[in-house]
A and B are shown apart, each in its own frame.
Chain A
Amino acid sequence: MSALEEKSKAVSDGGGFALLFFVVGLVASLIVGWVVFPKILYSQKRQPFDFNHKLHNELVDEGCESCHFFREDGSYAGVPKLAQCVDCHESVQGDTEDEAIFVNDYVTPGIEVPWLVYSKQPDCVFFSHAAHVKSAEMDCKTCHGDIGNSSTLKVYEENRITGYSRDIWGKNIAGFKKNTWDRMKMDDCSECHVKLGVHQNSVQTGKGACFVCHQ
């Protein structure tokens, strides 16, 4: 082999190695970024006990608002209080273990259930359920997904840095979403507001001003 050939071989050998190095590095990075990082970032928390939305939904007359109702002052009550459940659940009704936990650990001693709220926003956020549900006549599903037909509660994932629920950022670590309920970030609020042209009142951005969604 001539010196020239030798050199070019060395280069091509070296090139192969470099390529391999690049590919391995890329794959490793992708795994870390897409799989390991979310695992580290979010802690998994269980709800105090499981709850069957579907089952309850079939028993009530007014859909979601039967339990997740509006108060007279227009504010939204959110997750039901013990008092709402006690009417039926004063004693164990069915035969599920979860109900037994509920009755024995919470109803009997009169302790509110420390539910982990998937859609809980930071305290600087103002969200009017009344504006969306009553005036805009949106359904719950648009933002929350079809929870009403779920028969079990998913694992609550909490961001270790911010303390927020993973439902805010969304399941997809890159922030892509397929459904309207996949994410609950400010951009998602704004996306809909921009599309529908509501509260496009900012002098700075031409979109919503701060106090539309902040307090």
Chain B
Amino acid sequence: MWPWTPVPKNGEANVVNSVSTLCGGCCGISVRKIDNRAVKIEGMPGYPGSDGKACPLCLSGLQKLYGPTAVSSPLKRVGERGQGKWKKISWDAAIAEIAEKLGRMREDGRPQGLACIMDRECGTVPALFQRFLQVYGSPNFMKTASVDDAYELTLKLMHGVAARPGFDLESADYVLSLGSGILDGWGSTVRMFRARARWQENNAKVVQVEPRLSNSAAKADQWIPIEAGTEGVLALGIAHVIIKEGLYNKAFVDEFGVGFEDWVGKDGKKHDGFKTIVLKHYSPSTVAGITRVDPDIITETAKAFAAASYPLALCGRGEGRTPGALHDFMAVHALNALVGNVNEKGGVWAVPLPDYVQWPEAKLDMAAERGLATDRVDGAGTERYPLAKSLLTRLPEIINAAEESPVEALFVSGANPCYTLPDTAVAKAAFSKIPFIVSFASHMDETAMMADLVLPDHGHLERYEDIPAPSGMNTPVIGLCRPVVAPQRNTRHVGDAVLMIAKAMGGLVAEAFSWESYQDCLEKTLGDNWEPLLDAGFIHNPKFTPDAWAKAFQTPSGKFAFMSDACSYEAEGAPIAEIEGKADAYPLTLIPYDSLRLAGGPVTTTPFVIKTVEDNVLKGKDIFVEVNRKTGGKCGLAEGVYAHLSTPKGTVKVRVHMSDGIVPGVVAMPRGLGHAEIESYVGGKGINVNELIGPVEDPVSGMDAAWGIRANLTIA
């Protein structure tokens, strides 16, 4: 009838269940197929957390599968870095080239020159990389950090355990979100939505503390607008009221807490306890001065929080892409501890890290041992930052400061640091100094553009993978990502690629990888769990309960540490992470904001999802920043005008959206735009907010504590 309009072929309908890895929350999905074509993604009923629903990004996953950015075969760079000029090469040639390069580095005694960047550290695929680095002789496995890392560190310090945070959200009856985008992608996205529905049914109260009227704030029972970056201070202000009024859980604090009262450290000196510090420095009026939250609201909130049966305080800003200041996390966790809801119903649980990847210890040769003994290139685990596991945000500066890049060869898989790292320009400069970069991206992205070789992984609907523990899940879960359709292009599973490289290297490196293929590795790793996993699509232990207080804490004192030697509050002042820029040159503050309608992480938004973005966020190729109507008026701005937004990192041209839903003095910019123009549905539109914000090192953890940057907005 209309020959250039496609007519979809009909056939037999069938459904494949899998887990979508596009979003951070890992939605369980059911893919409807017609014969061999996948035609629709829906939520997978019964999947822990998402249970039949999926986030917009995962729902549009077919646009990734069949999309134009999928890499169709191994590529070798022929042009300049980032120029996007490639030639197709065979898998064998690519693997041989890598093996040859790595072999030479190892012979030259510099195996530590190899680094690996991923977006996860749990599961078999990260484990394969970690094992490869280990037998090869490099300590430099790095992971893009998120709130989960800050939370893990908090649990390490306050509980003394290596665990990840789990939140018994569904049971909470008072939720105090200190900046967390609980409906904007924080945690396991869809689970948060379902939890919110539960709160509504149970008449639980939700209070959102945030500078901007985000979706999370709009749907909360109460929005407390706050000065940007001061959420941790408010937590302590609330703690002040709770302590002062004696509303805290004495059974927990007295019996299972340490450092609440004044305490004596290892140095033999007496230190102020949590109580003293909080009472001294965080009275509602002081806190009100910093946070600009009315003292009465602080008091009311504190009372309501303490009075609730299952109060739960959450932190980690927005979607949780940047870890934030450790102090904030500890303050909020202390607040939870004050009301005794750690490892309790409706509270924060320490959930053991997944431990199903148990492989025989690999044999190491001398070269490997020597390499592993060197300091990590990012400084994690060194004397300066003993607590951190990896500090990717420090890497660019270190590479740029060195004459020759300490990283000589780099593997990147799952991550897109050239887009997600703060101060993108500096990150890209660092990457261009790295002599040899191998990207395992399934889709062309900013980092793959910087690579020398691209060894394309199967797309997320074409491969097997174990997906452990969605963020914030309070019960152990392993999901199975499985092929919905056969690989559409000349790609290999990244696990297989690692096996191939190892085998090409020979020697002990090859010996450490005895599996025939990645699938073989996965099946053997899961052992008895494989069949159930294959049948149900996931393994879940819904009956899991955390350790009771009596044995939950493995700090030196065996108690919950409000304060300890490892980490104590400064006696004076408020622990707000300083941001870059001087107030006189930059009178405003730029903060990024997250939305489910834009993917802010390593995965680029899909055409369907960007179609849902409103025209006062993106219009044509112009990005809008949100600014308070009054602030904007003072700057001489009006709705929709073009303006120059400058920060110490640079100046960009933006358009202005005047809003009544944002605190004065703050400029908010969406995260997830400004991608390289690899395709023109999403690429080349707007500005990447990471270009404008540099990293700020947390003094204790070393992780990125930046929550914004000083900025100025002038009419263009």
Contact = CB atoms under 8 A, between A and B. Distances in A.
Interface string A69-101: 001010101100000000000000000000000
Contacts of A162: 1
Nearest to A162: B1
A162 to B, nearest CB: 6
A140 B607 CA distance: 44
Interface string B8-44: 1010110000000000000000000000000000000
B13 A73 contact: yes
A62 interface: no
Contacts, number: 14
A75 B1 contact: no
Contact of B12 (A77, A122, A123): A77
A117 to B, nearest CB: 11
B13 A122 contact: no
Contacts of B12: 71, 75, 77
A123 B13 contact: no
A75 B11 CA distance: 9
Nearest to B12: A71
B548 interface: no
Interface string A91-128: 00000000000000000000000000000001110000
B7 interface: yes
A73 B12 CA distance: 9
5 contacts: A75-B12, A75-B13, A77-B12, A123-B8, A124-B1
Given A75-B12, A163-B3, 12 more contacts: A71-B12, A71-B13, A73-B13, A75-B13, A77-B12, A78-B10, A122-B1, A123-B7, A123-B8, A124-B1, A162-B1, A163-B1
Contacts of A124: 1
A46 to B, nearest CB: 22
Interface of B: 1, 3, 7-8, 10, 12-13
A122 B7 CA distance: 9
Nearest to A76: B10
Interface of A: 71, 73, 75, 77-78, 122-124, 162-163
A120 B8 CA distance: 14
Contacts of B1: 122, 124, 162-163
A41 B560 CA distance: 86
Nearest to B7: A123
B36 to A, nearest CB: 12
Contacts of A78: 10
Contacts of A77: 12
Nearest to A161: B1
A75 B10 CA distance: 11
Contacts of B3: 163
A163 B13 CA distance: 26
A78 B9 CA distance: 13
A123 B7 CA distance: 7
A77 B7 CA distance: 18
Contacts of B8: 123
A162 B7 CA distance: 13
Nearest to B8: A123
Contacts of A75: 12-13
Nearest to A75: B13
**Most chain B CB atoms below 10 A, which of A122, A123, A124, A162:** A123
Contacts of B10: 78
B515 to A, nearest CB: 31
Contacts of B13: 71, 73, 75
Nearest to A73: B13
A122 B12 CA distance: 18
Nearest to A124: B1
Nearest to A77: B12
B531 to A, nearest CB: 25
A124 B8 CA distance: 11
B333 to A, nearest CB: 50
A78 B3 CA distance: 24
For the complex of A and B, 5 pairs with smallest distance between CB atoms:
A123-B7, A122-B1, A73-B13, A71-B12, A162-B1
A128 B585 CA distance: 70
A183 to B, nearest CB: 19
A49 to B, nearest CB: 22
A116 to B, nearest CB: 15
B15 to A, nearest CB: 10
Contacts of B7: 123
A74 to B, nearest CB: 10
A209 B1 CA distance: 22
Contacts of A71: 12-13
Nearest to A164: B1
A128 B13 CA distance: 15
A163 B3 CA distance: 9
A157 B10 CA distance: 22
Contacts of A73: 13
A127 B12 CA distance: 16
A135 to B, nearest CB: 21
A77 B8 CA distance: 16
A73 B8 CA distance: 19
A138 B1 CA distance: 30
A185 to B, nearest CB: 14
A162 B3 CA distance: 9
B110 to A, nearest CB: 52
